[in-house]
Amino acid sequence: MLRRLALASALTIVGALAACAPAAPTAVGTWTGEGNGQEAPSLELQQDGRLAGTDGCNRLMGTWKQDGDSLTFIQIASTAKFCEGVDVWLSGLETGTIDGETMAIFGKDGSEVGRLTKTEAAVG
């Protein structure tokens, strides 16, 4: 009986602590960066796991997953226009991390390629 009471108390404490833990920031919404392209690099991360965006020249599309503060970008495809003088850093996205309203983007080699700022929360 004492053992059950101790277990129930421990589970109550764990549940209370979990409820107080801050939730991971949601990636859903529009994220925009700085660039020298025809338009600013940006990603729109949708609730259903799809993404759309631009690297400042080419359109990007694919899917994404979030685990805590970490993001993985999956099956990314893009158009292949040539835009002279445009830094298309966002087209090299592989993973990302979120810190508040800032998303760091990392390439295939694990190095940071750029940063985006949340400019619009998800609608609906």
Closest to 121 (Cα-Cα) out of 105, 101, 106:
101
Q: What angle do CA 50, 54, 59 make, to 5 degrees?
A: 75
- Give CA–CA dist 52/54, Å, rounded: 7
3 state SS of 47: coil
Q: pTM for the whole thing? A: 0.77
For the residues 54-76, what does the mean pLDDT come to? Answer: 96
Please give the share of the chain, as a percent, with pLDDT higher than 70: 77
pLDDT at 12: 52
The domains located in the chain, with CATH, are 24-121 (2.40.128.270)
pLDDT of 30 > 80? The answer is: yes
Cα-Cα-Cα-Cα dihedral of 74, 79, 84, 86, to 10°? -30
Kindly indicate the confidence band of residue 38, based on its pLDDT and cuts at 50, 70 and 90. Answer: confident
- Distance between CA 10 and CA 3 in Å, rounded? 11
| pLDDT at res. 23 | 67
